[in-house]
Chain A
Amino acid sequence: ETGVTQTPRHLVMGMTNKKSLKCEQHLGHNAMYWYKQSAKKPLELMFVYSLEERVENNSVPSRFSPECPNSSHLFLHLHTLQPEDSALYLCASSQEEGNEQFFGPGTRLTVL
Chain B
Amino acid sequence: EDQVTQSPEALRLQEGESSSLNCSYTVSGLRGLFWYRQDPGKGPEFLFTLYSAGEEKEKERLKATLTKKESFLHITAPKPEDSATYLCAVQDDKIIFGKGTRLHILP
Evaluate contact between A102 and B97: CB separation under 8 angstroms: no
Q: Report whether B43 and A43 are in contact in the complex, using a CB–CB cutoff of 8 Å.
A: no
**Range class of the B interface residue count:** 20 to 34
Interface residues contributed by chain A, number (CB under 8 Å): 19
Contacting A at CB under 8 A, from B48-100, are 49, 87, 89, 91, 94-100
Q: In the complex where A43-B87, A98-B91 touch, is A105 in contact with B98 (Cβ < 8 A)?
A: no
Question: Is the contact region of chain A dominated by helix, strand, or loop, or is it mixed?
Answer: loop
Of the candidates A41, A45, A58, A106, the one whose C-beta lies within 8 Å of that of B43 is A106
Considering residues B42, B45, B87, which has the most beta carbons from chain A within 10 angstroms of its beta carbon?
B42
Residue of A nearest to B49 (CB): A100
Residue pair B87, A103 in contact (C-beta under 8 Å): no
Task: State whether the Cβ of B8 lies closer than 8 Å to any Cβ in chain A.
Answer: no
Once A45-B94, A98-B31, A100-B49 are accepted as A-B contacts, the answer to whether A40 and B44 lie under 8 Å apart by CB is: no
Q: Mark A80-99 against chain B: 1 for CB-CB distance below 8 A, else 0.
A: 00000000001010000011
Are B34 and A100 within 8 A (Cβ)? yes
